[in-house]
Amino acid sequence: MKPLSATPRTSLGRYPERSTADRAALYEILDAGLICHLGIVVDGTPRVVPTCYGRLGDTLYVHGSTGASSMMTAPSQEICVTVTHLDGIVLARSLFHHSINYRSAMIYGVPSLVPDEGKSDALRVITEQLAPGQWDAARQPTRKELAGVAVLALPLDEASVKVRQGPPGDEDEDYALPVWAGVLPVRQAFGAPVPDPALRPGISVPPHLAAR
């Protein structure tokens, strides 16, 4: 696989050991996520919007509504999409070395609006990211419904991938302190599916949802 483009903004000045240009690492972070934070500039100021996304090959699809100004102005300018996994709280002996364990990907690029004929495929990618197996289980979108959805396609070319894992790193002299140090793991967990109160009787949770 082609490595990611190295640009000044994706090359870390601090903690360069936390950075990677490995495309496989980028894909792993993206594929494990459920939502992203989409950064756009509106009237000169930044806006950070949580939204759904999906990846197919070297394209990231980001979901929105044609009624959202953020989506409709995005194709004419550069955006930044960030996906973050918080993996742990790093508790050091000194407050200064407290940190978090995380995996994050910041992707930069000028997106294109997915044309009508490509929207269904792009939405399938986004739906399957959120709930694998769900695309074939639910009613397909109508042409009118598709018209109300905006999907951005962003090439996965320029990205900053950062990973911090493992125990704290303290100052040499602090290892003697009588302070507990280590990591408090954090993870995303799924609960048992909660049926819609309006669900028709006799419809059980499908295996692709029960398994998570």
Q: Which of residues 40-59 bind a second copy (CB under 8 A)?
A: 40-42, 44-50, 52
Q: Applying CB under 8 A, what is the total number of residues that bind a second copy?
A: 94
Interactions with a second copy, residue window 4-43 (CB under 8 A): 9, 13-14, 34-35, 37-42
Query: What span, in angstroms and rounded, lies between the C-alpha atoms of 10 and 8?
Result: 6
User: Which listed range, 17-25, 54-62, 111-119, 123-131, lies at the site for a second copy (CB under 8 A)?
Assistant: 123-131
Establish if 132 lies at the interface with a second copy (CB under 8 A).
no
Least distance from a second copy to the Cβ atom of residue 23, Å: 20
Establish if 117 lies at the interface with a second copy (CB under 8 A).
no
Q: Hunting for tokens 């082609």 — which residue is that?
A: 2
3-class DSSP state for residue 137?
Answer: coil
Least distance from a second copy to the Cβ atom of residue 60, Å: 14
Query: 190-212 as b/e, with b when 16 or more CB fall inside 10 Å?
Result: eeeeeeeeeeeeeeeeeeeeeee
The sign of the torsion formed by the CA atoms of 30, 36, 42, 44 equals negative
Establish if 191 lies at the interface with a second copy (CB under 8 A).
yes
Query: What span, in angstroms and rounded, lies between the C-alpha atoms of 212 and 191?
Result: 8
The contact pattern for a second copy, residues 68-97, with x = CB under 8 A and - = no contact, is xx-------xxxxxx-x-x-xx-xxxxxx-
